[in-house]
């Protein structure tokens, strides 16, 4: 994957990184506070000298000799012999091994000074440990530097700074917290990359949808199912009313721009990619929103296999699209009026639904319905389940592909759009994401009225294909298609009533 894809994954799963850092930091803090001992540190300093030297040259040589001796004395201070003697001097208060593990000896750079530090569980213990180790180091050095034949020692170590009583203890929890947070950061980045790698081929947002189809995302909707019996009435509140009005206007204007000689699409099909895309619900909500603007709208349940939006309802019990196509309606009107919306249910499931949809009768029926309605919205079966959606794609003016965030692969979406474009036109996609919820009808109505008033004043004189509308929509789609961010619904406004 390119580097920017890794950055995108890290930004998308930032919560995993933050959570890992917090967990790691808390774990380190707890370990440092409750599972590590708090040690006090006391230090003593030794001065190393070399004997003899009456001239400047000899003094310089002795100084170099002493500097070299400091490193050797540091090894002596942490030796087992010094630890054993110091333990005996402390009357066995601490074992030689433990004392040795708590002792450090570091020479001060470019000097003849040796710093011996010893830690202990209390200030007094640390001071006594350091004093014993320093004293025993001096004695061992004196023994080693003195010739067995007697005489003076070549060099010696002098304790010039007695160990003091430490006032504060070290804080291991601080270092352990930092270590835990750092480890958590690394783990969090790895988790984020694994999550991104697992879902690298999945449509999860507008960016991946645009990259997969090369079509704009017309709207981002939350999953919501409105009972078909209340669709088109005051009880059919929709939380995404503004986004659906924006979808309506984008379809009107963008559809008209596809062909300068053609009118905006009036027969619009909605099909989904993935088993839970919810294209039928989106089509129903879109039809109800367009009908609320004063247009005459027919919602057609195009899924004759029994899985459509009217399946299992009284609307589809006896008559519907299947009886219209088979010319078996008789004197019964299969069209159901609900408020300003008209619904053509799927009807009884025919023995061969695919053959019925593929018959020339469907095209004739749609041509007749164009004369009766401003808009015909077809809730098509999902792609891949049957070939019916391809037939509807050939007969509709434009198709909208609905995809659920995180449930469809990029390849499936890309292949579905390509299959539709072999026979028809795809105007864009709708991304369904988020969680469903309940919205009061009055709240939706109150929020919709101000938006309708403000926008009507702006677009009432626009005609499809005019320069002002063209520039407005071009700006919106350029923004959506370049970076895939920002819902296209942001540019959507309520319909002017009868515009197409």
Residue 395: band (very low, low, confident or very high) from pLDDT cuts 50, 70, 90: very high
Number of domains, the chain: 3
Position 188 pLDDT exceeds 80: yes
Domain assignment of residue 128, yes or no:
yes
Domain assignment of residue 499, yes or no:
no
Same domain membership, residue 293 and residue 416: yes
Same domain membership, residue 359 and residue 235: yes
Is residue 321 within 8 Å of residue 351, measured between CB atoms?
Answer: no
Same domain membership, residue 267 and residue 187: no
3-state secondary structure of 145: helix
Mean pLDDT lowest among 246-255, 356-365, 452-461: 452-461
CA distance 452 to 348: 39
Is residue 199 within 8 Å of residue 406, measured between CB atoms?
Answer: yes
Same domain membership, residue 404 and residue 347: yes
Q: Which two tokens stand for residue 109?
A: 């750079």
Residue 417 maps to which CATH number? 3.40.50.300
Give the pLDDT confidence score for residue 422 in this predicted structure.
Answer: 92
Same domain membership, residue 352 and residue 224: yes
Same domain membership, residue 429 and residue 487: yes
pLDDT in tens, 50-69: 765 555 556 667 667 777 88
Is residue 293 within 8 Å of residue 494, measured between CB atoms?
Answer: yes
Give the pLDDT confidence score for residue 366 in this predicted structure.
Answer: 92
Same domain membership, residue 245 and residue 106: no
Residue 316: band (very low, low, confident or very high) from pLDDT cuts 50, 70, 90: low
CB-CB neighbours of 311 under 10 Å: 18
Domain assignment of residue 444, yes or no:
yes
Is residue 246 within 8 Å of residue 493, measured between CB atoms?
Answer: yes
Position 486 pLDDT exceeds 60: no
Give the pLDDT confidence score for residue 174 in this predicted structure.
Answer: 84
Same domain membership, residue 265 and residue 212: yes
Which structural domain range is residue 212 located in? 206-491
Same domain membership, residue 81 and residue 13: no
- List, in order, residues 6 or more apart from 345 with CB less than 8 Å away: 301, 308, 310, 313, 315, 316, 319, 320, 321, 334, 336
Give the pLDDT confidence score for residue 390 in this predicted structure.
Answer: 92
Average pLDDT, the chain: 79
Domain assignment of residue 497, yes or no:
no
Q: Which two tokens stand for residue 357?
A: 């949809």
Residue with the two structure tokens 């070939």: 387
450 versus 366: which is more confidently predicted? 366
Position 476 pLDDT exceeds 60: no
Domain assignment of residue 167, yes or no:
no
Domain assignment of residue 86, yes or no:
yes
Hey, which bits of 126-230 come out as E strands? 155-161, 217-221
Give the pLDDT confidence score for residue 444 in this predicted structure.
Answer: 39
Same domain membership, residue 239 and residue 157: no
Same domain membership, residue 222 and residue 151: no
Q: Which two tokens stand for residue 356?
A: 């019925």
Distance, CA of 329 to chain centre: 52
Same domain membership, residue 109 and residue 14: no
Q: Which two tokens stand for residue 14?
A: 């930032």
């Amino acid at each position: 994957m390119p580097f920017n894809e890794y950055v995108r994954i890290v930004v998308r799963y930032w919560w995993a990184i933050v959570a890992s850092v917090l967990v790691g930091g808390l774990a380190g803090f707890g370990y440092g506070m409750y599972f590590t001992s708090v040690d006090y540190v006391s230090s003593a300093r030794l001065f190393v000298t070399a004997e003899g030297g009456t001239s400047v040259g000899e003094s310089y040589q002795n100084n170099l000799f002493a500097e070299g001796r400091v490193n050797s004395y540091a090894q002596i201070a942490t030796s087992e012999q010094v630890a054993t003697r110091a333990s005996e001097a402390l009357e066995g208060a601490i074992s030689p091994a433990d004392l040795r593990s708590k002792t450090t000896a570091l020479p001060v750079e470019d000097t003849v000074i040796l710093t011996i530090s010893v830690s202990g569980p209390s200030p007094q213990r640390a001071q006594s440990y350091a004093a014993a180790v320093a004293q025993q180091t001096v004695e061992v050095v004196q023994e080693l530097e003195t010739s067995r034949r007697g005489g003076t020692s070549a060099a010696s170590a002098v304790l010039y700074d007695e160990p003091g009583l430490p006032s504060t203890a070290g804080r291991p929890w601080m270092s352990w917290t930092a270590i835990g947070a750092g480890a958590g950061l690394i783990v969090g980045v790895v988790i984020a990359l694994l999550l991104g790698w697992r879902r690298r081929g999945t449509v999860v947002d507008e960016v991946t949808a645009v990259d997969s189809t090369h079509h704009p995302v017309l709207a981002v909707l939350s999953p919501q199912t409105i009972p078909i019996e209340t669709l088109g009435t005051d009880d059919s509140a929709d939380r995404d009313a503004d986004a659906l009005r924006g979808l309506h206007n984008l379809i009107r204007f963008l559809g008209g721009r596809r062909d300068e000689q053609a009118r905006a699409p009036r027969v619009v099909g909605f099909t989904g990619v993935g088993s839970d895309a919810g294209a039928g619900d989106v089509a129903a909500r879109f039809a109800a929103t367009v009908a609320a603007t004063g247009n005459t709208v027919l919602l057609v349940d195009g899924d004759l296999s029994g899985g459509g939006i009217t399946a299992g309802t009284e609307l589809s019990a006896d008559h519907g699209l299947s009886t219209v196509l088979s010319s078996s309606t008789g004197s019964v009107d299969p069209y159901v009026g609900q408020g300003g919306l008209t619904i053509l249910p799927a009807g009884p499931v025919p023995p061969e639904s695919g053959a019925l949809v593929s018959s020339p009768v469907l095209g004739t029926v749609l041509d007749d319905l164009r004369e009766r309605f401003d808009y015909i919205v077809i809730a098509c079966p999902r792609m891949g389940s049957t070939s019916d959606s391809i037939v509807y794609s050939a007969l509709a003016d434009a198709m909208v592909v609905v995809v659920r965030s995180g449930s469809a692969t990029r390849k499936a979406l890309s292949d579905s759009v390509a299959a539709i474009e072999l026979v028809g036109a795809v105007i864009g996609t709708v991304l369904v994401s988020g969680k469903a919820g309940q919205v009061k009808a009055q709240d939706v109505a109150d929020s919709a009225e101000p938006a309708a008033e403000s926008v009507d004043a702006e677009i009432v004189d626009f005609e499809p294909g005019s320069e002002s509308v063209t520039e407005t929509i071009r700006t919106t789609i350029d923004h959506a298609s370049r970076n895939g961010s920002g819902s296209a619904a942001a540019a959507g406004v309520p319909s002017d009533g009868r515009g197409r």
